[in-house]
């Protein structure tokens, strides 16, 4: 189990990586998903943002963060004054995990095994894109980057040492903000904006 054996011979080429990821069978999640959703952005992007896994919309369109969580993330990035050209967006797990519920596909959090199986793709993206800083959105992303013991709530607005010594900023996942209501939601949104601003300032 694991994505390692599906990595291309030249893992230094982003397009080769993307193509190879389309055929990954490194865990069982490819079976019920439409396609691999690889990262979006360019080599040399200063900031690399890591989400959890594609959602329903991302699974259909083949692009990360094009659904409701992506819309909220876009708003937060705008408020933080972050230029989209500076970004590479990806996920800790590249296939959509879901369970059927009333005719819909309901998101299901990937297991620690699935997260570990998919980690070689994330590490390869980090190596090739070579950002100055990584933002982990939510627990799955942060645990993939920083280990299973990492507790996100204890490390907001802090630079943490990530893979290969890359600095990581941990923050809340946009979907978690979407699940909240009222004052909690606006507080959580403001927290996300503040963390993104912190990350952007750290690399400018
Ligand atoms: N949530 C994520 O974590 N990633 C996406 O690409 C979309 C929603
Ligand atoms: Fe491969 Fe990751 Fe998809 Fe599993 S989730 S099949 S490891 S790309």
Give me the residue label for tokens 């912190």: 198
| Over residues 50-69, mean pLDDT | 98
Ligand 2: residues with CB < 6 A are 3, 21, 24-27, 29-30, 36, 93-95, 114, 117-118, 121
Domain segments of the chain: what residues?
4-202
pLDDT band at 63 (very low <50, low <70, confident <90, very high): very high
Q: pLDDT per residue over 140-192, tens digit each?
A: 999 999 999 999 989 999 999 999 999 999 999 999 999 999 999 999 999 99
- Indicate if the pLDDT at residue 20 is higher than 90: yes
Q: Which ligand places an atom closest to the C-alpha of 117?
A: 2
Paired sense of beta strands 87-91 and 98-101, if any = unpaired
**CA–CA dist 117, 93 (Å, integer):** 8
Closest to 60 measured CA to CA, from 95, 91, 89: 95
Q: How far away, in angstroms, is 53 Cα from ligand 1 center?
A: 5
Q: How far away, in angstroms, is 131 Cα from ligand 2 center?
A: 23
Q: With beta carbons less than 8 A apart as the criterion, state whether 53 and 117 touch.
A: no
Q: pLDDT per residue over 121-153, tens digit each?
A: 999 999 999 999 999 999 999 999 999 999 998
Average pLDDT score, the chain: 96
**CA–CA dist 181, 168 (Å, integer):** 28
CATH topology for the 4-202 domain: Uracil-DNA Glycosylase, subunit E (3.40.470)
């Amino acid at each position: 189990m694991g994505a390692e054996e599906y990595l291309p011979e030249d893992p230094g080429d982003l397009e080769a990586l993307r193509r190879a990821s389309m055929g990954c069978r490194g865990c069982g999640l490819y079976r019920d998903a439409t396609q691999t959703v690889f990262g979006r952005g360019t080599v040399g992007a200063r900031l690399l943002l890591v989400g959890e896994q594609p959602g329903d919309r991302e699974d259909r369109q083949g692009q990360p963060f094009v659904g409701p969580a992506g819309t909220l993330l876009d708003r937060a990035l705008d408020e933080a004054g972050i230029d989209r050209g500076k970004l590479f967006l990806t996920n800790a797990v590249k296939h959509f995990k879901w369970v059927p519920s009333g005719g819909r596909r309901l998101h299901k959090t990937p297991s620690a095994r699935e997260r570990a199986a998919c980690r070689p793709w994330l590490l390869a993206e980090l190596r090739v894109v070579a950002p100055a800083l990584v933002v982990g959105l939510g627990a799955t992303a942060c645990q993939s980057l920083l280990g299973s013991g990492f507790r996100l709530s204890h490390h907001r607005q802090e630079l943490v040492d990530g893979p290969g010594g890359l600095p990581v900023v941990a923050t809340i996942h946009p979907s978690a903000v979407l699940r909240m209501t009222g004052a909690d939601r606006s507080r959580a949104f403001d927290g996300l904006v503040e963390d993104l601003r912190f990350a952007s300032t750290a690399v400018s």
